[in-house]
Amino acid sequence: MTTRDSMDQFMQQCEDTIRNAQEQMVSGSKQGHYHDVEYSEAMGQLESAYNELTHLAQSANAQQREMLHRKRLQLQQLQNQMILLNHDR
For residue 19, is pLDDT > 90? yes
26-75 pLDDT per residue, tens: 887 777 666 688 888 999 999 999 999 999 999 999 999 999 999 999 99
Tell which phi-psi region holds residue 76, choosing left (phi > 0), alpha (psi between -120 and 50) or beta: alpha
Region for 61 from its dihedrals, namely left if φ exceeds 0, alpha if ψ lies in -120 to 50, beta otherwise: beta
**This prediction's pTM:** 0.85
pLDDT of residue 44: 95
Q: Which residues lie closer than 8 Å to 56 by C-beta, 6 or more apart?
A: 2, 6, 7, 10, 68
Give me the pLDDT at residue 27, please: 84
Tell me, what's the pLDDT at 38?
A: 87
